[in-house]
Amino acid sequence: MIAGIDNPANAVEWAMAEILNKADEEVDKVVGKERLVQEQDIPNLNYIKACAREAFRLHPLHSFNPPHLSLSETVVAGYRMPKGSHDILSQRGLGKNPKVWDRPLELRPERHLFTGGDANRCNGSPKEVLLTEPKLRFISFSTGRRGCIRITLGTVMTVMPLARIVQEFLWMKPPELSKISLEKSDRDLSLANLLVVCVKHRLPSRLYVP
């Protein structure tokens, strides 16, 4: 349950700090402004999900996954892994690997929207976006036997808050700030300081009443 809270919250905070306009446009097109985003809208919110994937890739909550024990000798990427060795996946290393990602330090959700062609360069055929990453090009919900058993719940817990706050509010930096700080915390990989912004309603007032 802790992972179910921390990972979505971290992804939403980073995505909110860097990407808004295109997310606004997608939510308005798919859902409109006469009702709130619902769970059944998630399959059609590909750009929102791409923002979450890119936040997972570029800003994981922790540097490393918990260690795993090799039950037999194997070779991974040309490296011999003896039986009994403790193996640790670097979330930062995977997500920012220049051999896998074009311009890996740039936040570009569009790289997750296409299949075929060169997804890194944002071309090819549009595809449905999923938060899982079975090829381990970055860590979202892990994969295989040790993967998250509640991926569907994790997807809803990540996408719904991001989609709702994008749909319901217009986000602006406070007038006293020249820019939003994206400094990382020394404790983990979350933002060092709380994301402070000014907001305005985007929807009819009746939709904000329980």
Confirm if 17 and 172 have CB atoms less than 8 A apart. no
- The answer to whether the CB of 198 falls within 8 A of the CB of 173 is yes
- Report whether 198 belongs to an annotated binding site: no
Amino acid at 106: E
User: Of 172, 161, 168, 164, which is closest to residue 204 (Cα–Cα)?
Assistant: 168
Which residue is listed with tokens 């992804």? 11
DSSP H or E segment with residue 169: strand 169-172
CA angle 186, 181, 24 (to 5 degrees): 120
**Spatial CB neighbours of 77, under 8 Å, sequence gap ≥ 6:** none
Residues flagged as binding site for heme: 148
Binding-site positions read: 148
